[in-house]
Amino acid sequence: MNTNEVEIVLYGAETLCPSCVNLPSSKETFEWLEAAIARKFPEQPVKMTYVDIHQPSGDSEKLNFAKRVIEEDLFYPVVVIKEKIVGEGNPRLKTIFAELEKYGYKAI
């Protein structure tokens, strides 16, 4: 069982990405993802962080990545684990879970 906390950062915005019509909002995706990870990897520490790309806060790494989402027209929400993009627009749980398993997370 994993005891090292991995941070999952979701970069999003209040408004939907123009290419993401009919998808949940960034905040809804964040909440859905948080719940899905808690169910799949119970009692294993995961730090979930939401960063608004239009009003970013946090360390310089997060501020720079938020700027990159806008400048590179990435489909948001963008899900990042340890500086690796693991989901864009409509993130897939399978991809995110596989990345967490690389860091020692065990599915229950």
Instruction: List, for residues 36-75, the tens digit of each pLDDT value.
Output: 999 999 999 999 999 999 999 989 999 999 999 999 999 8
The CATH label, of 3.90.1150.200, 3.40.1260.10, 3.40.30.30, 3.60.21.10, for the domain at 6-102 is 3.40.30.30
Nearest to 102 by CA among 41, 15, 52, 20: 41
Strand partners, 50: 10
Start-end of H helices in the chain? 26-40, 60-71, 93-102
User: Which pLDDT tens digit goes with each residue over 75-88?
Assistant: 899 999 999 999 99
What is the chain's mean pLDDT, rounded?
Answer: 92
pTM of this structure: 0.92
What are the residue boundaries of the structural domains of the chain, listed by start? 6-102
